[in-house]
Structure 1
Amino acid sequence: MEITVTAENFQQQVLQAEQPVLVDFWATWCGPCRMLAPVLEQVAAERRDIRVCKINVDEQPVLAQQFQIDSIPTLLIFRDGKLLGRTTGYCDKQTLLQRLDSALQA
């Protein structure tokens, strides 16, 4: 299950999460974001050890600016409140899982 994150719940949902968090910065008008959405849904369903969150850059410009999101989709990987990895653009499920695992092993 994907979680919608806002400036109000970012601290709780991402920084204070007990498990690693994959954050998708996206927008409704973004074609690659729409292509990535089913991939993220599959990852959320298969990897219960990872929390998948979505942040709409149009609705949450402060968070987009805070993390210097200048291109979407951008995926950020957090664990224990620390940013471990960043991926911009569409990627398939296998590539995404590899990037997740390598960031979490670091």
Structure 2
Amino acid sequence: MQEITTAEIQESDYLLYIYTPFCGTCHVARTMLEKIEDVHKETIFYEMNASLQPDFMQQYQVESVPCLLIKKGDRVLEKVYAFQSIGNIYSYLYKHCPELFTEKK
């Protein structure tokens, strides 16, 4: 994962993992996302420390952390708060990012 920049926040499509450093559940969620990236051998998720971005948190009405915010175009398609399992996260990726599962040439 890589920390999202102010310029990248303005982009239209991204998967953003929002966390706080002292949140135990956030550390478990991070591990799940890192395993997904390891399988795909690429950076898929951006990350953001919620404590450092209060305006973003308010603008996008992020209710709690951890949160996986899925944005396409000018719309937030999902805000996932219950990570549950790697399989659960994959269900959201299949739904919103099918390009991750096509063969690359």
Please give the TM-score of this superposition, normalised by the length of structure 1.
Answer: 0.76
* Residues 1-106 of structure 1: pairs in structure 2 closer than 5 A: 2-12=1-11, 15=12, 17=13, 21-47=14-40, 51-104=44-97
C-alpha separation in 2, matches of 1:84 and 1:26: 19
Compare relative contact order (CA 8 Å, sep 6+) and give the higher one, 1 or 2.
Answer: 1
C-alpha separation in 1, matches of 2:16 and 2:75: 12
Cα pair 2:15 2:69 within 8 Å, conserved: yes
Q: State which drifts further: 28-37 or 76-85.
A: 76-85
C-alpha separation in 1, matches of 2:55 and 2:39: 31
Q: Deviations over 1:6-47 (max 9, x none)?
A: 4354114xx2x5xxx221110001111011111111122333
Please give the TM-score of this superposition, normalised by the length of structure 2.
Answer: 0.76
Q: Which has the larger radius of gyration?
A: 2
Aligned length: 98
Q: Percent identity?
A: 21
CA gap of 1:41–1:58, structure 2 versus 1, over 3 A, is: same
- Structure 1 alignment gaps of length 5 or more: none
